[in-house]
Chain A
Amino acid sequence: MSDKPSELPEVDELVQQAAREVDRTLIRWALSLSPLDRLRAAVSSAASLRALRDAKSNER
C-alpha cells in the first residue's frame, strides 16, 4: 500500500506551503508502524487528548 502515490491532485499554494512545514519525523515514525498499529496509536492519542481536554474543562 502507498508504495508510491499515483498522480496527486492539485492543491493550492497555501496547502503546499503548509505541507513543507509539516514535521516529517512524525510521518517517518508512523510509517515505521504496521497499518493497524498506526490506527491504535491514533485512537490512543485521541483518547489522551480528550482526557487532557476534559481535565482542563473540570478545572474551570
Chain B
Amino acid sequence: MPSPTNADVGALVRRLVDAGVEFIVVGGAAAVLHGAPITTEDLDIVHRRTPENVSRLKNVLEELDAYVRELANRRLAPQESALLGEGHVLVSTRLGPLDCLGTLVDGRGFEDLLSHSESIEDEGSEFRVVDLSTLIDIKTKTGRAKDRLMLPVLVALAEELEGSKD
C-alpha cells in the first residue's frame, strides 16, 4: 500500500471522473468534502454496479496498479465479479487506498443513494457525494466507535452551514 504521504485522494477522484465512472463518495472523504475538519486516508465510493460502469472502474483500477488489501503477501488485482456484487472491494492504488462499496451496511446501493447525494464541481471535475444529512444518518446507524466520534463534528458542520444561510 502506498505511503499515506504519497496518497492523492483528490487525484483519485479525478481519475474516476475522467474515466466516466459513476460513483457517489461516502464515508470520511464525503464528510471532508462537505467541510468537516477531520482527517482521512482513503476514498470510499459506492459505484453503480452495471457491467459497463464496473468495466470502466476496473480499467481505472488496472491503470493505477490496484490490488486487494489485506491479502497477506499476495498482490491480487480486484475481480470484476466482486465489483459487480454487493460486497466491499478494498484496494490500494498508486494514488492511495480506495474502498469500492457495492452497498452500504444498510443495504443501500448507488441507485438508492442517488437522490440523497449532491453534485460537486471542482477543478473541472464533477462528481457526486452523499448529502450531509444522509451521512449523519449512516454514521448514526453504523454504531461503530469511529463513526460515533465523527457525529458531533458533522452535526456542528450542519449547524454552521445552516447558520451561514441566515
Hey, which bits of chain A sit against chain B, CB under 8 A? Answer: 1-11, 15-16, 18-22, 24, 26-31, 34-40, 42-43, 45-47, 49-51
Contacts and interface: CB of A to CB of B under 8 A. Distances in A.
B133 A27 contact: no
Given A1-B34, A42-B39, A47 B5 contact: yes
A1 B118 contact: yes
Q: What band does the interface of chain B fall in when counting residues whose beta carbon is under 8 Å from A?
A: 35 or more
28 contacts: A1-B33, A1-B34, A1-B129, A2-B118, A5-B131, A9-B137, A11-B140, A15-B151, A19-B156, A20-B156, A22-B153, A24-B156, A27-B35, A27-B153, A27-B156, A27-B157, A31-B160, A36-B10, A36-B123, A38-B32, A38-B33, A39-B9, A39-B13, A43-B40, A43-B96, A47-B5, A47-B41, A49-B39
Contact of B132 (A5, A26, A28, A50): A5
Nearest to A40: B10
A7 B44 CA distance: 24
A8 B10 contact: no
Interface of B: 3-5, 7-10, 13-14, 28-29, 32-41, 96, 118-120, 122-123, 125, 129, 131-133, 136-137, 140, 148, 151-153, 155-162, 164-165
A9 B39 CA distance: 23
A29 B37 contact: yes
Given A1-B129, A34-B122, A19 B38 contact: no
B37 A26 contact: yes
Contacts of B4: 43, 46-47, 50
